[in-house]
Structure formats: C-alpha cells, structure tokens
Structure 1
C-alpha cells in the first residue's frame, strides 16, 4: 500500500469520499462513500496526519471519467493518453518496452500535431489539479513542450522523438514521490531530497536495463538537472549536452506553472522570464517563448473592452492570441462565449488575471466545441 498525505482540497464537503481515509499506519479511519459534512472534521483528519492509498486515488480518478455515448474528442484523447502513459511506465520491466515507448511517443506527437493549442491549453490551465498524479501529468506536459520546442528549432523527427521520450522517462525513478512532494504542502524531507538527487542516474539505469540504447536520450535523462557552470546535480557538470539543457528548460517551465500543496501556480509570464534568464536569452528559451506566446492558451485575461476571457488559440504575434470572452463588459458571467481577436485594439489584453476560479468552472468544450 502506497500512502499519500491527504490534502484539504481533495475533500468535497457533502459528497461521498471516492476513497478510504487512513492513518499513517494504514488503518482505515473513514470508508469510501462516507460523507464529510463540515470543515472541522476535515481539519481533525489533517491534524491526525490522514492519508489515502495511491491505488484507490488512481482508481477513483479513472471511475470519475464521463461514460457517455458521444464520440471521443481531443480532450478525451488527452485524458486517455495520460492513463496510457501510466500503464506504459509501469511496464518498464516488461519485455518489449523500447517498442512500446516508440509507439507511444509517435502517437503523442500525432496528437499534438492535430491541435497544439488544445495540448497547451490543458497543460497551462490544469482544470482539475490532481497533485498526486503530478508525476504523470508533468511528464506528459513537458513532453508536449519539448515537441513544440524541437519543431521550432528545426530538429529532425528522430531527434524530436528522442527528446519527447526523454521527457516521458526523466523522472521514471520517482513518479510516485513527485506526487507526494506536490501534494504534501511542506518542503521535501531529507530522505526525499536524497531520492530526488539520485533519480537521474537511477532513471538511466532502469532504462538501460529495459533495453534502451539511444545514447542522446540517456544522456539527456542523466543530465536534465545539470546547469552550465556546474550549478546543477547530480554531477555538477559545467557543460550539459544540448538535449539535456532543452529538457531542463521545458521541465522547469512546466513545474513553475503547476500548483503545489504549498503554493499556487506561477504565471506563465513569470515562468517564461525565468527560463529566459536561465538560458541567457538563448535559442532554446526563445523557442519556448515563441511557441507559447506571452499569453498561451489556457491563460485567463482582462480585455480592454472590460470583458474577461480565456485564451484559446495562439495568434499572429506572441501578445495577440484569440480569446473566448466569458463575461460581459461589466464583468458579469455570460451564457455564451464569444471569440475575440486581441489584435483588435478594442479587445487588446491589458492584464493576465491571477484569480482563475471563474475560468476553472467552465468546461473546455464550451470554449472549443467538441473537436473530433
């Protein structure tokens, strides 16, 4: 049994628990289906160090997926891809892993190419923060950004695939730990920090044992926490390889825009400034910024017209995306969204909005329709 610390945001007052709540020894405190009716009970559980079983959390997340008759859309396909990745990484020790990850990476690139804006939207907006699944979601979203960055840089299809596979497997030695770290709400403990420090080399060893022999992929995984000048880990290398540095920048960007139990998500604009400084304004950071734009799909913005809107498409320039307004000019929510071209002066973006609670209540399908 893999126990993870319960996070307050996981408990919905008045709704049945989708999993059991246990103490730190694994003893059941509240059974699945129990209804927590007030915040005092939640606080009492948190004070007791309440935990949940990772397997039950994953099972509940799968069961919560809608089971309707409508044809799958791209949002459905991204969700299914996440769970396919879970199964793939769990099969690392099984025979045939190299062929399976080749097939998965190719299908992921094809999904990205069908509509990159939807992939960006999902990675930026994170409608349903699932911190205990952070190891999976972060790997998938980093692979998305790596693919877009490599394409903009003109990398070959084969080299782009190697970078995508490096992103999918860079944290394969600590996927569950990543979920615990994201959800626990406190800084990493010394034993956790030791595991974090070891994970690049451990990931390489696991991949080699599984039959992976792509030297650049393996080097990128080994060095994805190294920094020019020797500021990184685990080896303090002064000159990490290009693929490792590309992977690190994408990794850092996606980590910064992801919420944690201990902090909200950092804005895409601030994350972009960080990678720009890290790379000294170099071509890798610029590729990320040019691909995503200043206001990437998924951002919640204030328009000059007074409307509030969600960015849904990248535009002709980094600062002029297409947005879907979700309020009227006085800021009141509207039933039907309206597309706004922010290149038009009337609808220019005047600010990114940090409070995304209004936007988070809207289904992506309402903003995009149902892409086939």
Structure 2
C-alpha cells in the first residue's frame, strides 16, 4: 500500500529546536530528518513553503506511544488509517442555503451589520457573543468547504458601493485570518477569538467606517479623533455587551498596533502572532478596497507592499500571498491575449489563477464567459485590473455555477 502523508502543524517548527519526526514535502521528498534543527528564520520560511508533512506510519507509531501531541494541522485527524474531514463540513452541507456561498454571504453580511447595530435585543434573542460566534461558525463552514467561492463573493461585494463597507471589510479580514491562521502558528484555542475579533474590531466606529468609504473630502478633526479612539471604544462596547473572552477583547484593542511601534493606541512592539496576522489582514483589505476619494490597490500590489514594509517578518505576507494568490478569486486581470478576465479559482501557482474571460481584446463583453488557461503563454496574466475599470456587471450565482 502506498505511504500516505499528513499535514504537520507549523507549531512543530521553531528555530534551533530539533524536529520530533522526519519532515517530508507533499511530493514525498525528505525536507528535514528527525532530530535535525531549523537553523534560521530563512530555512523556516523555505520549510513552510514546501507544505511540511509527516508519514502516516510515523505518526501512528508516535500516537500509540502517546507522543503525537499536536503534530497534525488542526482539523485533521486519523482513524483506522484514514483521514477524516472536520465535522464543520457535514454541518455546512446540512444547512441548505448556508452552504451555498452565493446565497450565504449576502445574508451573513446583513446579519453581521444587524448584530452590531442591535447588540442587546430583547429576550428570547441570544446574547451578542452567542450570535456573533454563530456567524463565525458559518464563516468557518464556508471557508473550509468553499474557500475560492467565498473569496470570490467577498471581493466582488467589496467593490459594490451599495453595500455597507464595514461589514464586507470585517468578513473578508475574518476569512483571510481563518484561511491562514493554522499555518501561521495561531493555536486552535486562539483561532475562534481571532475570528471574532476580526468581525468586531471596528464596532467602535462602524457607522463612520461606512461613511468614510463614501466620503470624498479629507478627514475632519472629529473624525480623526474617533478613528484613534475606536480600538479602545470597541473593546469597551464588547465588554458592555457581555463579551468575556480576554483574547477577543485584547485583539480588538490592539488591532492597529504595529511591531515597529508606530501603531495605536499604545505604540506596542511586542505582539503575538494572532495580533500580527489580524493587523496585516486588516491592512491588506483596507488597501484593496475602493473608496470615493481613491481607487483601491490591486491585490498584487497590496501584498507586495506588505512584504516590503515588514523586512524582518516575511512569513505572514508570504502566507497571505500563498493562501490568497497574487490574483485572488473575485479580482480582475488582463491576459496577454488582450482579454479582461475575472479570477474564479486560485491556481497551483500564485500567478496562474483559473479565470473566465468576460471582455474581448476589442473591449466588447463576451456573452458567455470563457475559461482561459493562464498556464499557456497566450493567456498568461499580463496585469491586474481594478474593479472600477470593469464595466461588465457579473451575476455571481451564474459565474460560480460555471466553475
């Protein structure tokens, strides 16, 4: 029987610490022998890039000895020699419309905004924290079952000026955190708090957040003061609404802190992985978001800037690039053929997404969007295209049905 490989948790790896098992790539190449040490941060980044795995037979031996611990990536378990899917997937399928991204994400957008604006409804409505965590559970189901479709929907919604910006921003940041947290080394115990913080980090200024997306004039002094105060104000609101999770509240207070000490409100420099991931995801989404007074950056430019701005910590920007792609689903690209295409799937390589051509080289809409293979030179991605430059309106349901 062919040997099987299981994905290792990245918490296994630390610089100058011996590895507890032989570490393999997903192609069956030995990356690091048992007992050898990761010599440097650069070696650690290269190791992570190869998707480190453990042989199933080695894992089962350690498991029998009670030494397996938290070797495997969260959500992966082994029973009777077979991988079992996380129970969230079965739960998602059982919820009908909630399992269909094109239907679920607009509903979740509305429910999140309602949760913020009516945090203390009368009984028998559940408490705020319970309602918020239920929404976070839907996100986890959709992200695990339909990651590309979820990215597609939220990037498309981000470009829709008729939707409340703050809720779309929150959902996309939370999705990015969910997709990358395990590989970033955020513990399973911290991940729910991280997702909840992403969904609520701007409750201290949610209405202003929506207004600023439509505002063409410069910030007023009052608006600037509200922005600077919103991390503390948001955490205070959440505490008053019954949130008792200390990490959730801490991440909301600190989501604008930066390792260089230039963040606010405290100018902190010693920050945990969950906070740094939340901060980078927040920056990324803010920068790709179009506003009334400026265009958004392309996802490629946004992730490249994060990489350049964090010369001492490339791991998290690299994770964003790998998990989202340089051209994530829902964004637009121009092909070497001259056609404009919408990205519908991440490819095997970050620069080779799966796309549907929607505008021909002469600038005319294509009646039936056509699949193009970006691995072929004639259809390779030539450049990003900003959403506001695309004049064709897409029906997300039909687009996702074609993929």
**Alpha-carbon separation, structure 2, partners of 1:156 and 1:229:** 24
Q: Does 1:244 align with 2:275?
A: yes
**Alpha-carbon separation, structure 2, partners of 1:83 and 1:190:** 31
Partner of 1:45: none
CA distance 1:345–1:136, change in 2 (3 Å): same
Q: Does 1:88 align with 2:119?
A: no
**Alpha-carbon separation, structure 2, partners of 1:268 and 1:156:** 27
Q: CA RMSD in A?
A: 2.4
**Alpha-carbon separation, structure 2, partners of 1:130 and 1:192:** 21
Partner of 2:211: 180
**Alpha-carbon separation, structure 2, partners of 1:99 and 1:127:** 26
**Alpha-carbon separation, structure 1, partners of 2:325 and 2:135:** 27
Q: Does 1:126 align with 2:153?
A: no
**Alpha-carbon separation, structure 2, partners of 1:360 and 1:109:** 31
Residues 49-107 of structure 1: per-residue CA shift (max 9 Å, x gap): xxxxxxxxxxxxxxxxxxxxx99942121000001111222343356222222211111
The 5-angstrom pairing of residues 151-300 of structure 1 reads 151-280=182-311, 281-300=313-332
**Alpha-carbon separation, structure 2, partners of 1:257 and 1:358:** 15
**Alpha-carbon separation, structure 2, partners of 1:199 and 1:258:** 20
**Alpha-carbon separation, structure 2, partners of 1:148 and 1:282:** 17
**Alpha-carbon separation, structure 2, partners of 1:166 and 1:355:** 28
CA contact (8 A) 1:301 1:351 kept: yes
Figure out how many residues of one structure are paired with residues of the other and give that number.
302
**Alpha-carbon separation, structure 1, partners of 2:322 and 2:143:** 17
**Alpha-carbon separation, structure 1, partners of 2:198 and 2:223:** 21
Q: Which runs of 5+ in 1 are unaligned?
A: 1-69
**Alpha-carbon separation, structure 2, partners of 1:304 and 1:164:** 38
CA contact (8 A) 1:300 1:359 kept: no
**Alpha-carbon separation, structure 2, partners of 1:302 and 1:197:** 39
CA distance 1:339–1:158, change in 2 (3 Å): farther
TM-score of the pair, normalised by structure 1: 0.75
Q: Does 1:308 align with 2:335?
A: no
CA distance 1:286–1:72, change in 2 (3 Å): closer
Q: Secondary structure at the match of 1:199?
A: helix
Q: Does 1:101 align with 2:132?
A: yes
Residues 20-59 of structure 1: per-residue CA shift (max 9 Å, x gap): xxxxxxxxxxxxxxxxxxxxxxxxxxxxxxxxxxxxxxxx
CA distance 1:72–1:213, change in 2 (3 Å): closer
Q: Which runs of 5+ in 2 are unaligned?
A: 1-96
CA contact (8 A) 2:324 2:346 kept: yes
**Alpha-carbon separation, structure 2, partners of 1:122 and 1:278:** 28
**Alpha-carbon separation, structure 2, partners of 1:313 and 1:233:** 36
State which drifts further: 83-92 or 119-128. 119-128
CA distance 1:190–1:103, change in 2 (3 Å): same
CA distance 1:246–1:355, change in 2 (3 Å): closer
Higher relative contact order (CA 8 A, sep 6+): 1
**How many angstroms does 1:268 deviate by?**
0.9
Partner of 1:351: 383
**Alpha-carbon separation, structure 2, partners of 1:221 and 1:87:** 19
Q: Does 1:146 align with 2:181?
A: no
